[in-house]
A and B are shown apart, each in its own frame.
Chain A
Amino acid sequence: MKPVLSVEQLTIETIADGQPLVQNISFQLAAGQIVGLVGESGCGKTVTSLALLRLLDEKVIRQSGRIWLDETDLMTLSDRTLRRVRGGQIAFIMQNPMSAFTPVFTIGHQLMETIRTHDRCSKREAKDRALEALREVNLEQPDRILKAYPFELSGGMLQRVMIALAVCLRPHVLIADEPTTALDVYNQKLVLYYLEKVRATYDTAILLISHDLSVIAEMADHVLVMRDGEIVEQANVFDLFDRPQHPYTRQLLAQHGVQAGGMKA
């Protein structure tokens, strides 16, 4: 299958002392595929995800390599063109939903703002699309949520709002950076359920970043294992959990109490 997003030899380093943060990583995302990215804190997962949208501060950090989105190389685009891609073709779900919304505007205001940033449409139309997006993640009383301020909603609700926001522009690629980390178990389940639904409904390619192996095992089709800025192993999810090749992968699995061959298919 032809990949939607293809990363070739992505290297990220600091300009000041040339310290590498991510080295020479390559991977591909196909439509409707969920790729998991695992690794310990600080191994470069979030830096990688930000680099895909070229959101790292280019005065401090240098990145090289190629990031193909369909036929275009994101590394060659201007900031203006990149803005069309961000949120439009590649959407992002952030780690901490409680702080991802501006405190001074209502949820509805912020949803409509984002919709109208990318698609020229009337306020009414934007509002209808926002309502529909909220319904899609089964939030009750969407018209009331539109009028609510971020602090009036719980973390779980905000994370669902964020999924709604990410999905309502029908992106080809969705990057979810630790989408469940800040949530309780029940809300984790819900968030994963809606991510799965998005994939199934819109054939979106999802890059799921997590340090939680159980989340990866449940969701991902393909897994990348990252350590100290390098991808040490990438494999089909069943192969990875049943026959881990790299010693680091084995160690990770062992820490999570998974014995090699222990995953039920």
Chain B
Amino acid sequence: MNVPLGRPRLLDRLSNQRLILIGCSVFLGLLFLAALAAPWLAPHDPYLVNLAVKLQGPSWTYPLGTDQLGRCTLSRLLYGARVSLGFAVLIFASSLLIGLLIGTLAGYIGGWVDQLLMRFCDGVMAFPSLILVLGLVGIFGPGLKQVIIALMLVQWVYYARMFRGLVMTLKEKNFIAAARVNGSSHWKIFRMHLLPNILPPLLVIGTLEMGWAIMDISAMSFLGLGVQSPAAEWGAMIHEGKSYIRSNPELMIYPGVMIMLVIASFNLLGESLSERFGVNKQSK
């Protein structure tokens, strides 16, 4: 009998999950690098208006063409990545921190503190988050700073909920009791025993939520509430391009594709991470 020997082919050896994990990480990594290096990579100044070359197709000088004001689309996409990714990270990190703090407190202390904080979270969660953000921006007035604050104020409750649940299950574990028996302070228990044990789910949820943060930023900018023109930002670019949807649909397609790719990558990455760590993710 002929038994096939030798190493299996590359695709077989890498399981699907790992391919996705590696592929998405590489894509997002490159994108972050490109965003950081935008001033050196961009072929033109993203804000340079040149009406002589407006609405051009792809060419060697303008690889992705120009927009209605003759600005280089590729340069605007690169600079837009800085804004979209940068503020997504900011919103994500700050709401995560607030959520971590409040969720851990509620889960660890329990009792009326827990009740109070969680009823507040329930209240916030009762509204669809986008509507609530819109309402808050309506109160604060449009602008990037206001949008970021509004998003932070809404997003942290989801993290708080999750961390509370994780901490409550961990709290009953024997090693927490052992730490208390040995005279560890609450802060030490948090740092040494709780935090390291909630890292895997934190990583998974974090990756999934990054996609949402980018979506939110873009959506707000598209509605004209977040980043204001002429600043380059993907959502704002779609907003500006929508007047030319019949003659030059690519003005909307390029930033749209970027948003889609980034969010899809974050989601797939989160999925495959959760598969690896065996984490039950909680979708929002």
Binding site for B on A (CB under 8 A): 53, 55, 59, 82-88, 91-92, 94, 96, 99-105, 113-114, 117-118, 165
Contact = CB atoms under 8 A, between A and B. Distances in A.
A104 B196 CA distance: 7
A100 B174 CA distance: 5
Given A104-B197, A105-B192, A117-B188, A99 B181 contact: no
A36 B122 CA distance: 50
A86 B177 contact: no
B15 interface: no
A94 B197 CA distance: 21
Contact of A94 (B181, B184, B192, B196): B181
A104 B183 CA distance: 20
Contacts of B192: 102, 105, 113
Nearest to A85: B183
B180 interface: yes
Nearest to B199: A104
B181 A55 contact: yes
Contacts of A96: 174
Contact of B183 (A101, A103, A105, A118): A118
B184 A101 contact: no
Interface size classification for chain B: 10 to 19
A83 B179 CA distance: 11
B182 A86 contact: yes
Given A102-B193, A102-B196, A105-B192, A117 B175 contact: no
B181 A86 contact: yes
12 contacts: A55-B177, A55-B180, A59-B111, A86-B180, A88-B183, A91-B181, A94-B181, A99-B173, A100-B174, A100-B177, A102-B197, A114-B184
Given A53-B181, A59-B111, A99 B174 contact: yes
Contact of B181 (A84, A92, A102): A92
Contacts of A92: 178, 181-182
A117 B192 CA distance: 12
Contacts of A85: 183
B185 interface: yes
Nearest to B185: A83
A122 B66 CA distance: 64
A105 B178 CA distance: 14
Nearest to B109: A59
A94 B182 contact: no
A100 B175 contact: yes
Contacts of B196: 102, 104-105
B110 interface: yes
A67 to B, nearest CB: 15
Nearest to A59: B111
A94 to B, nearest CB: 6
8 closest cross-chain pairs (CB), A and B:
A87-B182, A87-B183, A86-B183, A99-B174, A92-B181, A100-B178, A104-B196, A83-B183
Contacts of B179: 102
A113 B177 CA distance: 15
Given A84-B183, A105-B192, A165-B182, 13 more contacts: A83-B184, A85-B183, A87-B181, A88-B183, A91-B181, A91-B182, A92-B181, A99-B175, A100-B174, A100-B178, A101-B175, A103-B197, A114-B184
Greatest chain B CB density within 10 A among A53, A96, A100, A103 is at: A100
Interface in B174-222: 174-175, 177-185, 188, 192-193, 196-197
A94 B183 contact: no
Nearest to B175: A102
A114 B111 contact: no
A114 B179 CA distance: 8
A84 B183 CA distance: 6
A103 B185 CA distance: 19
Contacts of B188: 113, 117
A117 B179 CA distance: 11
Contacts of B183: 82-88, 114, 117-118
A102 B173 CA distance: 9
Contacts of B193: 102
Q: Pick the most buried of B175, B177, B197: most chain A CB atoms within 10 A of its CB.
A: B175
Contacts of A83: 183-185
Nearest to B194: A102
Nearest to A55: B180
Q: Which of A55, A92, A118 has the most CB of B within 10 A?
A: A92
A59 B184 CA distance: 20
Nearest to B173: A99
Contacts of B173: 99
A172 to B, nearest CB: 14
Contacts of B182: 86-87, 91-92, 114, 117, 165
